[in-house]
Structure 1
């Protein structure tokens, strides 16, 4: 069982400091700040600060994604326009009159006789 002891003035306790004692060593608060912000509200203030940092970070991430989406939408529109142009050119080039013009350059001509069926008799 522990015994009751008295604190001796001027003697520091051997207890190791936690996060807030380290914070107090790094950022010493003078009396004017200590009057406005009480130490017991410090965890809530730090929690709100962390939430603010997370909010700002997610906002930057979302804006970056929106810029990327806009860039990709522009690229898709360009590719769609190219696709429609190439499709139209292919459809135009595959017309019978255009094929006949290209075949005439090779020395081929369009037949005037209609096709007929060849019948082979079996023995």
Structure 2
């Protein structure tokens, strides 16, 4: 069903097409199908609809993966910050000056006598 889209001024004096005429221009396929929808066009339309559906599905899936990657990256950064903090505390607690202060709570002092090295003769050991 085709409409006349002549822009000649008629009884109304309107020089532009109405909104119904614009919709007919965009979506009217009667001039392609002669009033009946052929099977070839339906097959192509179904295939195109399937492709569009697959495209929408995979783009949604990709968006979900992007959000998941962002969330995991934030968690990794948080764990890395915790690791760095704990490592710094461990390094501080393993220093002799820190240990000396902690041991004073229990009434112990650092030794002023240097350690001695024990040497065992190999000859005695072999017998």
TM range (shorter): 0.5 to 0.7
Distance 1:120 1:44 in 2: 93
Structure 1: tracts of 5 or more residues without a match? 1-31
**Alignment correspondent of 2:5:** none
- Distance of 1:56 and 1:96 partners within structure 2: 63
The residue that corresponds to 2:58 in the other structure is 58
The separation in 2 between residues aligned to 1:64 and 1:106, in whole angstroms, is 57
State the match for 1:112 in structure 2: 112
1:120 offset after TM fit, Å?
6.3
Structure 2 length normalisation: TM-score? 0.64
RCO comparison, higher one (Cα < 8 Å, 6+) = 2
Please give the alpha-carbon distance, in whole angstroms, between the structure 2 residues aligned to 1:73 and 1:98: 35
Query: Is structure 2 residue 16 aligned with structure 1 residue 38?
Result: no
CA distance in 2 between partners of 1:67 and 1:59 (Å): 12
How many matched pairs? 92
